[in-house]
Structures are given as C-alpha cells and as structure tokens.
Amino acid sequence: MAYSAKIGPSILSSDLACLGRECMRMMGCGADYLHLDVMDGHFVPNLTFGHPMVECLRKSVGQDPFFDMHMMVSRPEQWVKPMAAAGANQYTFHIESTTNPGNLIKEIRESGMKVGLALKPGTTVEELAPWANQIDMALVMTVEPGFGGQKFMEDMMPKVSWLRSQFPSLDIEVDGGVGPDTIHKCAEAGANMIVSGSAVIGSDDPRSVISLLRTVVAEAIQKRSLDR
Ligand SMILES: O=C(CO)[C@@H](O)[C@H](O)COP(=O)(O)O
Ligand SMILES: [Fe+2]
C-alpha cells in the first residue's frame, strides 16, 4: 500500500496577519503538510490570497513544508507558473473550473508540481475517474468550498470509498468540517490526506488534535491492509 496518513492544517482559519508564524506553529505541532486555500471571489464567494503571498510565505518558512495549493479559482490555468515560481509543491484544481483537465494536468507537471484534482459536493466521482491515473491526489470536498468552519457532509463518504476501491494506491484527501468528531468516517471510507482547519487551529492543543487524526487514519490503513 503506497499511501500513508498525512495531516494538513488549513491555515484559512488562522490569524492571516501572522501567517508565517502560524505555519511554523502548525509544522512544530506535527503537521505533515500545509493546505493553502486560494479563493478568487468568482469560483467561490470569498477572497483570500494569491501567489505573491505564497512567495513571501515560502521565504518565511523555508524549503521544507509541503504546500498543497487548493485552487478555488475560475481560471486555474492562469496561476500554474506563478504558483510554481512562488514555491508551491502541489496544485489542486477543481474539475468544475476547466474545460481541459488533461492539458492542465500536463502544464502542472511541466511546472514541477504534483497534481491534485478536486470535486465539489455536487460533482459525481465518475467525472474524476478518467483522470485518476494521471494525478497524485483526489480531493473530495466535504463542504461547499468557500469558507472554513462549515458542517461535515457525511454523504460524501461513498465517493471516497468508491475511489479507494478503484484506485487502491491513490492519495485521497478530504476537506471541510473534518476534526476529531468526523475523522472516523473519513478514515473508514479510505481517505489518507486529511485537511483540518478550525478543529486544529481553533484548538488549545493542536498537537494532540493532529496526533489523534493521524492515529485514526493510520489504524484504518493498517486494518485495510490486513483485510486484503
Ligand atoms: O477549502 C476549504 C473551504 O473551502 C477548507 O480548506 C476549509 O478552510 C477547511 O476548514 P474547516 O472546515 O476544517 O474549518
Ligand atoms: Fe481547502
């Protein structure tokens, strides 16, 4: 089994005026990677930051932290090269935002980044299937993209289970409303990359929350490997 449990705090719900420090705090608390939410006010009704901020953040935190860019933007093609130059490691775009996923996947790879492909709650998992062998990670959104702090949509779990059954070694990420109360559902369904915003950042003890999330997912991975 090629995949492992990884926890990526979403820094959307942190103090954005202290982003460099917040990112380092999360890495110090045991985060495996950082999930950076880019919103353009068009694909989603909210606005966050773009590649100039990512460039500053990379300078501030150094080369090590893995930046998973969650691109909630209408024209994802536009930001591939600027994000790669700014220091992004993975470019996760929404299948709903482009008419040519194949070309975009190629451009992202040529820019030296890993490829993530995201699905909004209303998009069927079959739409992702044709691309699954060309991507590094599938992102199943468990809230409508746009805001942190929303309620987890458990009815997205069949998408995760289906992807895990069809693509046993694919990295599968869940994002939205994931925390200690909902992690078991995600882990049982087969997710291995866990984005958690408010549950981690808002906690008095982020280290313990990250550790708990990772333990639950690692145990589910181990159980699956024994059941095979
Ligand atoms: O992409 C998004 C929201 O659109 C997420 O990354 C959220 O920011 C995660 O925050 P919580 O739901 O865990 O608070
Ligand atoms: Fe996200």
Q: Label the pairing between strands 193-196 and 34-39.
A: unpaired
Global ipTM: 0.99
| 203 annotated as a binding-site residue | no
Q: Is 175 a catalytic residue?
A: yes
pLDDT band at 161 (very low <50, low <70, confident <90, very high): very high
Instruction: Find the catalytic residue in 37, 40, 68, 171.
Output: 37
User: 65 CB less than 6 Å from ligand 1?
Assistant: no
- Cα 37 to averaged position of ligand 2 atoms, centre (Å): 5
Q: pTM of this prediction?
A: 0.98
Whether the CB of 197 sits within 6 Å of ligand 1: yes
Q: Tell me the pLDDT tens digit for each residue of 64-113.
A: 999 999 999 999 999 999 999 999 999 999 999 999 999 999 999 999 99
Give the pLDDT confidence score for residue 227 in this predicted structure. Answer: 87
Residues ≥6 apart with Cβ < 8 Å to 10: 35, 36, 37, 70, 148, 175, 195, 196, 197, 201
Cβ of 176 less than 6 Å from ligand 1: yes
The closest ligand to the CA of 196 turns out to be 1
Atom index in ligand 1 nearest the CA of residue 200 equals: 13
Q: Is 35 in the pocket of ligand 1 (CB under 6 A)?
A: yes
Q: Is 8 annotated as a binding residue?
A: no
For the chain, report the end-to-end CA distance as a whole number of angstroms: 10
**72: how many CB neighbours lie within 10 A of its CB?**
25
